[in-house]
């Protein structure tokens, strides 16, 4: 029986590592969604979408899957730090674009996913990738922190609604991956102390090789997707 995994931001970092991890299993089909396509595999299907452009997200649709599909999964992973810097110094249009990528798109995709698949006999799992920034007010990251706080609450409300409807076949979780060695970390280290006062700490983490490897994080995510009932809370953090 086949499993279908929709992963946003599958072109790089954690999303790409997760896609490759899942493709190792011949029962899995991975549907990647991002602006660029970097995976070539017989069971990988790519849809090119720029999540900053809301119209494109509204036009996205999930495929139909037969009733004997075992598991249908959505991983809202795509994310951007956007313009790092203090409020009052950001570009107005970047605020809208980053919130579209980090929060509006996951909300719309969650809505489309549940509308289409709620009555489907497969097990359904939605994993929203969050961050420690959801609960810490980091200067220079106002839009990123705000969007991840929104992701946590979106996940908690969606989970509560499934319980309210006694929908035991749908699991909704938010997972913070820890500090992972991806392009996003390179961008963080490229900021100045004026834009982000804690930048030195991130240089130190890299220098001391304390960043998580994306493949290790992907393995943990794949384990959680295979056993979502093992999560002790709706919002959790990966610890390696």
Ligand X SMILES: NC(=O)c1ccc[n+]([C@@H]2O[C@H](COP(=O)([O-])OP(=O)(O)OC[C@H]3O[C@@H](n4cnc5c(N)ncnc54)[C@H](OP(=O)(O)O)[C@@H]3O)[C@@H](O)[C@H]2O)c1
**Among residues 9 and 140, whose Cβ is nearest to ligand X?**
9
Using CB positions, name the residue nearest to ligand X. 13
Instruction: Give yes or no for residue 154 binding ligand X (CB under 6 A).
Output: no
Provide the minimum distance between the beta carbon of 233 and ligand X in the complex, in angstroms, as a whole number: 17
Among 129, 224, 234, 235, binds ligand X (CB under 6 A): 129
**Among residues 60 and 139, whose Cβ is nearest to ligand X?**
60
Instruction: Give yes or no for residue 180 binding ligand X (CB under 6 A).
Output: yes
Q: Three-state secondary structure along the chain?
A: CCEEEEEECCCCHHHHHHHHHHHCCCCEEEEEEECCCCCCCCCEEEEECCCCCHHHHHCCCCCCCCCCCCEEEEEECCCCCCCCCCCCCCCHHHHHHHHHHHHHHHHHHHHHHHHHHCCCCCEEEEEEECCHHHCCCCCCCHHHHHHHHHHHHHHHHHHHHHHHCCCCCEEEEEEECCCECCHHHHHHHCCCCCCCCCHHHHHHHHHCCCCECHHHHHHHHHHHHHCHHHCCCCEEECCC
Among 69, 185, 191, 220, binds ligand X (CB under 6 A): 185
Provide the minimum distance between the beta carbon of 85 and ligand X in the complex, in angstroms, as a whole number: 17
Among 3, 5, 79, 159, binds ligand X (CB under 6 A): 79
Among 18, 22, 29, 52, binds ligand X (CB under 6 A): 52
**Among residues 122 and 145, whose Cβ is nearest to ligand X?**
145
Residues found near ligand X in the complex (CB under 6 A): 9, 11-15, 34-36, 49-52, 77-80, 101, 129, 131, 176-177, 179-180, 182-185
């Amino acid at each position: 029986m086949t499993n279908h995994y929709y992963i946003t931001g599958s072109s790089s970092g954690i999303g790409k590592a997760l896609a490759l991890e899942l493709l190792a299993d011949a029962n899995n089909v991975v549907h990647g969604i991002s602006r660029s396509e970097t995976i070539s595999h017989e069971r990988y299907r790519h849809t090119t979408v720029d999540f900053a452009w809301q119209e494109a997200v509204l036009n996205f649709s999930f495929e139909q899957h037969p009733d004997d599909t075992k598991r249908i999964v959505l991983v809202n992973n795509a994310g951007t730090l956007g313009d790092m810097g203090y409020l009052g110094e950001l570009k107005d249009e970047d605020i809208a674009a980053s919130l579209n990528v980090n929060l509006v798109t996951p909300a719309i995709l969650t809505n489309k996913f549940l509308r289409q698949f709620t009555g489907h006999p497969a097990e359904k799992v939605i994993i929203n990738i969050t961050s420690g920034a959801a609960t810490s007010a980091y200067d220079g990251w106002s839009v990123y922190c705000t969007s991840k706080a929104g992701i946590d609450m979106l996940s908690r409300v969606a989970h509560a609604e499934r319980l309210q409807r006694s929908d035991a076949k749908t699991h909704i979780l938010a997972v913070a991956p820890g500090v992972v060695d991806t392009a996003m970390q390179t961008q963080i280290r490229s900021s100045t102390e004026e834009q982000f006062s804690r930048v030195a700490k991130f240089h130190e983490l890299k220098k001391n090789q304390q960043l998580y490897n994306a493949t290790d994080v992907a393995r943990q995510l794949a384990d959680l997707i295979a056993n979502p009932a093992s999560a002790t809370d709706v919002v959790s953090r990966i610890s390696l």
